[in-house]
């Protein structure tokens, strides 16, 4: 695919194979500077394999991944240095206090935080009252705020978020959405996976729907709704009096439950 001048991430004809099973089949998309891009799909659709390939956690069979101008195979260290990653399952040391975790992970990136820096960070992520708590004592929303900050502590141009709001209550989810939008407004590119159609419709500038290893649609949420709102399949699954992104998603990927 052609590289857009504002692209921070360009995935071209990506394929991932496990033995004889092809999990990802010629997937192409890009994520641009100042954009939140959602990767949506049912369980087993190929999202995790795609994200893991971008993160260099697995080797892809064919295709290319360009991160901030660096080919992920030819210059893997440069590509990884341009990324910040927040995984769905946060695995920070539960016995450490929040400032200790911040100092530890800043040090991994060669950053030294002063006491004033730590105070400012805790205020920014609204955890100044939890400074003395161990990470394992924090609520799910508080843990996600710490995790999101650490994923951007080295000021990466690309931030990868895997199901960032899973398990959060509505208030914590909205707060995290605001923080993700703030990352975009600083000019970073954000790629997130989510099962929440509300999240995709509210937060994402563009989305790609992937199913059975292939991208079957790419567009803004509203343009996807407008394009498919008169499709008989979409109308048949619509239950809310108006067509939503979830209706379009189910019509395109089917009603069948996925393991």
**76/163 same-domain check:** yes
Checking if the pLDDT of 89 tops 60, the result is: no
**67/162 same-domain check:** yes
Which residues, in sequence order, are CB contacts of 81 under 8 Å at separation 6+?
154, 156
Q: Which residues, in sequence order, are bridge partners of residue 71? A: 66
Q: Quick one: average pLDDT of 14-33?
A: 96
**195/73 same-domain check:** yes
184 part of a folded domain: yes
Q: Quick one: average pLDDT of 55-68?
A: 95
**118/163 same-domain check:** no
228 part of a folded domain: no
Mean pLDDT of the chain: 91
**20/38 same-domain check:** yes
**1/65 same-domain check:** yes
237 part of a folded domain: no
Question: Do the Cβ atoms of 115 and 177 come closer than 8 Å?
Answer: no
The Cα 50–Cα 210 span in angstroms is 10
Checking if the pLDDT of 47 tops 80, the result is: yes
**186/147 same-domain check:** no
CATH number at residue 70: 3.40.50.300
Return the higher-pLDDT residue of 167 and 118: 118
**124/193 same-domain check:** no
258 part of a folded domain: no
190 part of a folded domain: yes
95 part of a folded domain: yes
Model confidence, pTM: 0.90
254 part of a folded domain: no
Closest CA to 248 of 77, 88, 40: 40
Checking if the pLDDT of 93 tops 90, the result is: no
**77/3 same-domain check:** yes
Tokens of 108: 């991994």
Checking if the pLDDT of 241 tops 70, the result is: yes
pLDDT at position 1: 64
Return the higher-pLDDT residue of 240 and 169: 169
Identify the weakest region by mean pLDDT among 25-34, 83-92, 167-176, 210-219.
Answer: 83-92
Its domain, for residue 111, covers 89-155
**77/93 same-domain check:** no
**11/121 same-domain check:** no
Residue pLDDT, tens place only, 138-178:
988 888 889 888 988 999 999 999 888 888 888 888 888 88
Return the higher-pLDDT residue of 203 and 90: 203
Q: Which residues, in sequence order, are bridge partners of residue 12? A: 64
205 part of a folded domain: yes
- Hey, how many other C-beta atoms are within 10 angstroms of the C-beta on 161? 26
**61/126 same-domain check:** no
Specify the number of domains making up the chain: 2
């Amino acid at each position: 695919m052609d590289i857009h001048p504002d692209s921070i991430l360009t995935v071209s004809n990506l394929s991932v194979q496990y033995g004889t099973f092809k999990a990802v089949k010629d997937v192409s998309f890009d994520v641009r500077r100042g954009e939140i891009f959602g990767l949506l799909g049912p369980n087993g659709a190929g999202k995790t394999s795609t994200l893991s390939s971008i993160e260099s956690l697995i080797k892809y069979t064919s295709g290319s991944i360009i991160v901030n101008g660096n080919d992920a195979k030819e210059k893997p260290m440069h590509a990884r240095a341009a990324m910040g990653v927040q995984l769905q399952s946060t695995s920070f040391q539960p016995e450490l206090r929040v400032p200790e975790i911040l100092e530890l992970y800043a040090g991994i990136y060669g950053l030294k935080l002063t006491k004033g820096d730590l105070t400012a960070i805790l205020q920014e992520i609204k955890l100044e009252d939890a400074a003395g708590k161990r990470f394992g004592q924090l609520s799910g929303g508080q843990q996600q705020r710490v995790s999101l900050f650490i994923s951007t502590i080295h000021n990466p141009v690309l931030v990868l978020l895997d199901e960032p709001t899973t398990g959060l209550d509505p208030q914590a989810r909205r707060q995290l959405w605001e923080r993700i939008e703030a990352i975009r407004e600083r000019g970073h590119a954000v790629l997130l996976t989510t099962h929440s159609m509300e999240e995709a419709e509210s937060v994402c500038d563009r989305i790609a729907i992937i199913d059975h290893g292939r991208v079957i649609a790419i567009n803004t949420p509203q343009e996807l709704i407008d394009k498919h709102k008169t499709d008989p399949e979409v109308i048949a699954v619509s239950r809310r009096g108006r067509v939503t992104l979830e209706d379009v998603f189910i019509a395109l990927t089917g009603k069948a439950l996925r393991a």
